[in-house]
Structure 1
Amino acid sequence: MRYISTRSLPGDPGAPFCDIVLEGLAPDGGLYLPVSYPQIGERLPELRRIWETEGYAGLGFTILSEFIDDIPAEDLRGICQRAWNADVFGSPEVAPVEELRDGLWLCHLSNGPTAAFKDMAMQLLGQLFEYELGRRGREMNIVGATSGDTGSAAEYAMRGRQHIRVFMLTPKGRMTPFQQAQMFSIDDPAITNIAVDGVFDDCQDLVKAVSNDLAFKAEHSIGAVNSINWARLVAQVVYYVAAWVQVTGSDEQEVSFCVPSGNFGNICAGHVARQMGLPIRTLLLATNENNVLDEFFRTGVYRVRSSDETLETSSPSMDISKASNFERFVFDLLGRDGERVADLFGVQLAQQGFFDLSETDEFRSLQEDFGFASGSSTHADRVATIQQVWDECGVMIDPHTADGVKVATSTEPVEVPMVVLETALPVKFAATIREALDREPEVPAAFAHLDALPRHVVDLPKDVEALKALIVSKVSTSPV
């Protein structure tokens, strides 16, 4: 399997998986995708049997084997087994499902080390990085950005691993107290937390600027853990298949998924699963008040917002107005025309801040060809939904998951099973839980004393040269 950029021109021979997993962003500024999607439609009975006999890790190995042919099979199987097991995720299913009411399901993805769905992919990425860096005898400096959960998931997955340093950018003051404590309490010389004076999109822009400086990237072995890294996204395909197996009784039965979305990585994995032949009827995208993606799927206009226009909400991990992974979907939507994608994302967005596909044949056939729909949610919706799910089902959900449940129950008629993807445990968003339920969320034992630990964080302005200087300084003083 070879991988090409979303901005590739015809004839690009592509690169192997292990090269692009270490590279992150493509040299032309695009994002990597496989040259074609492997098909699993005829293998659904086999995948169901593998789930029943080998569990989540066996299912993951089978799916990843379709995308990775430059890691020996037994090595890849071991990587999957170390990443996805009951010791790491608390249950043999790893991603168990629960029926909230007739036809509405919740897929639990937040039982990993940092209580967020990002652990599902990040645990695999940590294993892949350590394996491949060891095989090549080199080190990597990971530069990432987080709106809340990616950072802690990456740091918990990478800490203690050989050959790896982590530089994680966060929007100063924009994460919940729990999220800040979870990240900033890590005391490891190979992990540097950076609080940027701005919003998540500013952090993401700095990460991309570092990656786009190809000389600096090469000299300092810069890698990525954000969902611009294809390995993150392909790892998430696995739980779509696992959820489908658990909620269906036949290999022909369709399901729909509702996915709380900010950076478009989680739902993009669902898009890949659907393109591979998983019987998905609808991919229902749920946003909060920062509804850039919902606006596109309703109107065909993709208009990014400025930092000042990006609202601070009670589902802060979705306070994003530039969805990096959206470029991958648009590449497929436009028939994999890299030249058009480069114009839209590299020229039109830079010059005018938006692009408009509303009058194109591709947008008019979007629902039929790709199964996408969308909706948005407000703070009042989140509070009411958290209360309703607790009162009716006895299940406590976090605000982002509440965005998903709200959109799922108000947008899509339940003709097939609707699976809402859980994003985090409620403990990460205690203030909203108290507002909705007048009670404290349960604090898992692993997080009981986070608040008492000292903080390790560096303040930084929105300046790429300041970030580069910090990286150089840490590389010279912190061996890995």
Structure 2
Amino acid sequence: MKFKSTRGKVSPIGFIDMFLMGLGEDGGLIVPETIPTVSEEQLEGWAKLSYQELMFEIFSLFTNEEIPEQDLKELIKESYAGFTSPDVLPLTTLNDSLHVLELFHGPTFAFKDVALQFMGNLYAYVAKKQNKVINILGATSGDTGASAISSVRGKEGIQICILHPNGKVSLVQELQMTTVQDDNVLNLSVNGNFDDCQQTIKELFADISFKTKYHLRAINSINFVRILAQSVYYFYAYLQLPANIRSGGVNFSIPTGNFGNIFSGYLAKKMGVPIKQLVLATNENNILERFIREGIYKPEGFLSTHSPSMDIQIASNFERYLYYFYGEDAVSVTARMEQFKAEGQLTFTAEEVARIQQDITAYSVSNEECLETIQTYQDRYNYLLDPHSACGIAAYEGAGNQDDGAFVSLATAHPAKFDEAIRILGIEQKFPERIQELFNKPQRQVIVDNVTADIVEQLESFYKVDK
């Protein structure tokens, strides 16, 4: 298995080089040269595997044996040792058709832990094996930062800087990042929104001399390893359902802002998971819904919502979907992304929209509908949803898909991370101990303006480089 760029100007590279490159050096996103397919017989043969065993089987299709088998098993085992559920990701059945896959049992109570605990351990493994300095740089709308920091804090040979939008993440998300006192962690609180932070990240990764000098590595979903790790739980959810329920295929409702979570499901479907519908749930920042429904990809005014991790206008993984939509034609993808950069929008024909809707359907959830869903499911099932997970459930209900067989809705965060929204409804919840203790810890962060030069100055004084 080799890997290449969506823009076609990166020579095929192996798994470890792909992992270290993160963003393609031509500005594109890294994808596998071919997507391996899993037969129905092989898939059913995995039905009794644990989550860790299943992840090993899937990753082994991509790693080219660059990581010895026992090392890969140990990396996976270590990555999920800190999850509070013995199943890693428990599947909860709410009614005959609706099942909730709980992705929030990791150290920071968010779905990002599923991929980032593994990625942090893999970076530490590579740093030790290759005796390299690894400087991780990422942007977060809230959850990625806390999870990434948790995965590498205090680890030798690794430093991490995370940019987050000042005042635009939940209090718990902020505290999970900024109360970490390890010297290999730098939090930059940027006076802007997530898209501003992410744009700076892309600019710095596209600056090859800067990236090379400071050994920059990506932990955002621009890194294909993140996408691959997230694809595992689509396999797992499907196989956790009883055979008679999953026999006709399964639907997924997926809260997403950066298109990474749903692209992971798209990858799993292409690999062979019998997925009938991928329902994309957005909040009021609904650029992705308009793309899927109307064929218009155009950022509009940024809105702050009860689901801040989805308050995103420009979705990093959109380009990966375009690559497959255009038949893996790097020239077409490059032209479209250059057009988007020049004009600020993309439009698609009616025929193209029809093809898009064969892959993905979409539903936009208002702030009011989000809160109503939380209240309804608390009353009906005594099941408390966080605002992002509620968007997934609202999309399942609002899109009118309840009669289309089994639905799995992804619960992406513990409700304690977004108590501001929960309290609006008058619902009191008990915080997990690891969250409660955050409120008494001192914070450490640097507030910077949304100016690339100011951010670079902070990075140059923080990162270590080879002498």
Aligned partner letter, 1:18: I
Contact kept, 8 Å, 2:365 with 2:395, in 1: the verdict is yes
Aligned partner letter, 1:4: K
2:350 is aligned with 1:374: no
Aligned partner letter, 2:411: E
Contact kept, 8 Å, 2:44 with 2:239, in 1: the verdict is no
Corresponding residue number in structure 1 for 2:32: 34
Aligned partner letter, 2:356: L
Corresponding residue number in structure 1 for 2:208: 214
Contact kept, 8 Å, 1:140 with 1:164, in 2: the verdict is yes
2:453 is aligned with 1:465: yes
Structure 2 CA distance for aligned equivalents of residues 416 and 30 of structure 1: 37
2:272 is aligned with 1:277: yes
Corresponding residue number in structure 1 for 2:19: 21
Q: Displacement of 1:475 after TM fit?
A: 2.3
Q: Displacement of 1:34 after TM fit?
A: 0.4
Gapped regions of structure 1 (runs ≥ 5):
none
Contact kept, 8 Å, 2:5 with 2:30, in 1: the verdict is yes
Secondary structure of the residue that 1:365 maps to in structure 2? Answer: helix
Corresponding residue number in structure 2 for 1:142: 136
Q: Displacement of 1:366 after TM fit?
A: 2.6
Corresponding residue number in structure 1 for 2:431: 443
Structure 2 CA distance for aligned equivalents of residues 235 and 377 of structure 1: 27
Aligned partner letter, 1:467: I
Q: Displacement of 1:471 after TM fit?
A: 1.2
Q: Displacement of 1:208 after TM fit?
A: 0.7
Residue among 47, 69, 72 paired with 1:76: 72
Equivalent runs, 1:112-127 vs 2, <5 Å? 112-127=106-121
Corresponding residue number in structure 1 for 2:94: 100
Normalising by structure 2, report the TM-score. 0.96
* Deviations 1:311-369, CA, capped at 9 Å, x for gaps: 01110000000000111011001101111111111x1111110111224x44322333x
Contact kept, 8 Å, 1:41 with 1:278, in 2: the verdict is no
Secondary structure of the residue that 2:463 maps to in structure 1? Answer: helix
* Deviations 1:254-303, CA, capped at 9 Å, x for gaps: 10000001001111100000000100000000000000000000011111
Residue among 223, 231, 256 paired with 2:225: 231
Structure 2 CA distance for aligned equivalents of residues 231 and 413 of structure 1: 33
Residue among 347, 354, 357 paired with 1:356: 347
* Deviations 1:438-461, CA, capped at 9 Å, x for gaps: 132221011222111111000111
Corresponding residue number in structure 2 for 1:312: 304
Q: Displacement of 1:13 after TM fit?
A: 4.6
* Deviations 1:186-211, CA, capped at 9 Å, x for gaps: 10111000011100000000111110
Structure 2 CA distance for aligned equivalents of residues 320 and 441 of structure 1: 28
Corresponding residue number in structure 1 for 2:171: 177
Secondary structure of the residue that 2:240 maps to in structure 1? Answer: helix
Secondary structure of the residue that 2:47 maps to in structure 1? Answer: helix
* Deviations 1:235-256, CA, capped at 9 Å, x for gaps: 0011111110112415743100
Corresponding residue number in structure 2 for 1:159: 153
Q: Displacement of 1:16 after TM fit?
A: 0.5
Q: Displacement of 1:472 after TM fit?
A: 1.2
Gap change, CA 1:259 and 1:158, over 3 Å in 2: same
Structure 2 CA distance for aligned equivalents of residues 284 and 242 of structure 1: 18
Structure 2 CA distance for aligned equivalents of residues 267 and 462 of structure 1: 29
Corresponding residue number in structure 2 for 1:392: 380
Structure 1 CA distance for aligned equivalents of residues 158 and 352 of structure 2: 42
Aligned partner letter, 1:406: A
Aligned partner letter, 1:242: Y
Contact kept, 8 Å, 2:448 with 2:455, in 1: the verdict is yes
RMSD: 1.4
Aligned partner letter, 1:21: F
2:322 is aligned with 1:330: yes
Instruction: Return structure 1 stretches of 4+ with deviation > 3 angstroms.
Output: 250-253
The number of residue pairs the alignment matches comes to 462
Structure 1 CA distance for aligned equivalents of residues 363 and 463 of structure 2: 44
Gap change, CA 1:248 and 1:7, over 3 Å in 2: farther
Aligned partner letter, 2:408: V
Q: Percent identity?
A: 36
Corresponding residue number in structure 1 for 2:442: 454
* Deviations 1:10-53, CA, capped at 9 Å, x for gaps: xx65111100111110001000010111111331121113x2xx
Q: Which moved more, 1:407-416 or 1:154-163?
A: 407-416
Contact kept, 8 Å, 2:293 with 2:353, in 1: the verdict is no
Aligned partner letter, 1:367: Q
Corresponding residue number in structure 1 for 2:313: 321
Equivalent runs, 1:43-54 vs 2, <5 Å? 43-49=42-48, 51=49
2:419 is aligned with 1:424: no
Corresponding residue number in structure 2 for 1:7: 7
